[in-house]
Structure 1
Amino acid sequence: MNERPVALVTGARRGIGRAIALELASAGFDIAITDIAASAELDDARDAVTTRGARCAVQLSDLADIAQHDSLFGAIEERLGPVTCLVNNAGVSVMSRGDLLDVSPESYDRCLQVNTRGTFFLMQAFGRRIARTTAAPGANYPPSIITITSSNAVAASVQRGEYCVSKAGLSMATTLFSLRLADFGVGVYEVQPGFIETEMTAPSKARYDVQMEHGLTAIKRWGTPQEVASAVRTLATGGLPYSIGQPIRIDGGLLVHKY
């Protein structure tokens, strides 16, 4: 019988998700990684996980299609064992930045369907599975849900309002599940990254470099995916056993009130 706990990391083909998958593999987890479509990047992420001594299952999954969620957990359980740690990393940004008065219903619905609705029901499916068990699945670490939101769950970015709305809703969903699942021994946490240097944020780098130098962040540099992954490892391995629900900010002091 496999003694290793199992982590599901959604949207793990690159960037923050990939870094989290690798870090949890190093922490002793077997890893399931998802993305919406097959790709060389996804295969490369799988191969990188296995070099850490972990088993890795790749599952194609559309987070917005909530009818797939139960079968996703079932497929992972058949290959690796029951999921013990759910890391909600997958998400989408706006179709295009622009005037709040010009936000399209298509862009708004896409953000809400994936970032908020899809993740909410994935947490629900995981929570139901935990509630049906008589003991926590896996070994070594208590079960957990770790949701990657954004500093935009708190800080308004008017040029991508629909993204902010989706992340604010997801932040509240995480708080709600932290309360509902506490009696089952599930630690539910929110991680709020700030400016993290990834392929997705590259187009904005030059603009924010200047603002950081003028005090936008207390630590005057971009964060790295590894720094987010290190925080997730702490949470997934039970490093904050008497904390639930509070956002953990990996943002270089971006959201600290200052004047």
Structure 2
Amino acid sequence: MTSPSTPSSPLSRSAVVTGAGSPRGIGRATAHALAAGGYDIAVIDIDESAAEDTAREVAGTHGVRTLGVAADVTDPEAVDTAVAAVEAELTPIGALVNNAGITSPTRFLDVSAEEWDRIFDVNVRGSFLVTRRIAPGMAERGFGRIVHLSSVSAERGGGVFGGVAYSAAKAALLGFSRALARELGPSGVTVNSVAPGLIDTDITAGRLDPERKAAMVADIPMGRTGTVTDVADVIAFLARPESEYLTGVTYDINGGSHIH
């Protein structure tokens, strides 16, 4: 655990961000944004050293308590162990951002059953397992902010970066969020989703040829790709205590490339 000399956050709550080890990813930017809002931060990533690196960086920048732990979010025992470590070391969990995910550009006629399952395991099963482990404590304490990372691909039917399996998995998260919002609302827990469009991250870097990227940017009214901060700031807004009347909502973060 990284524990600076400054006092614990005024919120006296922690935020768990999964898949936040990537240096240029949405998860790490979200950890910074939540820490800036006063949350202590727990980073859960399959790469332990990356999780610890994010935790150190966030603690050094914002002066909050942090913890980086390793876990495969598709493994219920690993999830339980990781969350138990967070509960033992940090303030009560008040926010959860299910950011861990993988993508695949494979066309449907070429996708194997194994790849389809792998995409759903990380994106959907992982979000389910982490949420199932954390949500009961939120409901018991009467406060919680859960945010799922979906995608514009789920709303427009692909055509951005991921293939059919990715679009289907991210669409499943929208249904999960909306139904869970109805269940947990009476307990003081909100559940929302964000649906980013083309965002400049480690996942997209180098995987789009310049011509295709230029064509995609030309179709964005704001004239640029999104940044991880564009997404993280919306997540931090949804995680505020003051955002208690927003639940079951999907926030589109795409620069106007998909308007509906």
Q: Same fold (TM over 0.5)?
A: yes
Counterparts of 1:30-45 in structure 2, within 5 Å, are 30-39=40-49, 41-45=50-54
The one-character-per-residue Cα deviations of 1:153-176 (angstroms, maximum 9, x if unpaired) are 112226611111111111111111
| Map of 1:237 onto structure 2 | 240
Counterparts of 1:104-183 in structure 2, within 5 Å, are 104-131=112-139, 133=140, 135-136=141-142, 142-157=143-158, 160-183=163-186
Contact 2:196-2:252 at 8 Å conserved across structures: yes
Q: What is the rounded CA distance, in whole Å, between the counterparts of 2:185 and 2:92 in structure 1?
A: 19
Q: 1:129 to 1:240 in 2, by over 3 A?
A: closer
| Map of 1:12 onto structure 2 | 20
Matched letter for residue 45 of structure 1: T
Contact 2:51-2:69 at 8 Å conserved across structures: no
| Map of 1:198 onto structure 2 | 201
SS at the partner of 2:199? coil
Q: What is the rounded CA distance, in whole Å, between the counterparts of 2:79 and 2:180 in structure 1?
A: 17
Aligned-residue offset at 1:239 = 4.4
Q: What is the rounded CA distance, in whole Å, between the counterparts of 1:34 and 1:98 in structure 2?
A: 27
Q: What is the rounded CA distance, in whole Å, between the counterparts of 2:41 and 2:65 in structure 1?
A: 6
| 2:219 is the alignment partner of 1:209 | no
Matched letter for residue 157 of structure 2: A
Contact 2:93-2:138 at 8 Å conserved across structures: no
- Percentage of pairs with the same residue: 33
SS at the partner of 2:203? coil
Q: What is the rounded CA distance, in whole Å, between the counterparts of 2:240 and 2:253 in structure 1?
A: 18
SS at the partner of 1:219? coil
Matched letter for residue 216 of structure 2: Q
TM-score relative to the length of structure 1: 0.88
The gaps in structure 2 that reach 5 residues or longer are 1-6
Aligned-residue offset at 1:187 = 1.2
The gaps in structure 1 that reach 5 residues or longer are 137-141
| Map of 1:62 onto structure 2 | 72
1:78 to 82, 88, 92: 88
Task: Answer with 44-53 or 228-237: which moved more.
Answer: 44-53
Aligned-residue offset at 1:111 = 0.7
Contact 1:73-1:83 at 8 Å conserved across structures: no
Q: What is the rounded CA distance, in whole Å, between the counterparts of 2:209 and 2:244 in structure 1?
A: 36
Q: 1:37 to 1:44 in 2, by over 3 A?
A: closer
Matched letter for residue 31 of structure 1: I
Cα RMSD for the two superposed structures: 1.8
Q: What is the rounded CA distance, in whole Å, between the counterparts of 2:94 and 2:106 in structure 1?
A: 40
Task: Answer with 158-167 or 106-115: which moved more.
Answer: 158-167
Equivalent pairs counted in the alignment come to 245
Aligned-residue offset at 1:112 = 0.7
TM-score relative to the length of structure 2: 0.88
The one-character-per-residue Cα deviations of 1:205-228 (angstroms, maximum 9, x if unpaired) are 621222322xx2221100100111
The one-character-per-residue Cα deviations of 1:176-225 (angstroms, maximum 9, x if unpaired) are 11111001000111011111101111122621222322xx2221100100
Contact 2:238-2:246 at 8 Å conserved across structures: no
Matched letter for residue 107 of structure 2: D
Task: Answer with 226-235 or 198-207: which moved more.
Answer: 198-207
Give 4+ residue runs of structure 1 displaced > 4 Å after superposition. none
| Map of 1:139 onto structure 2 | none
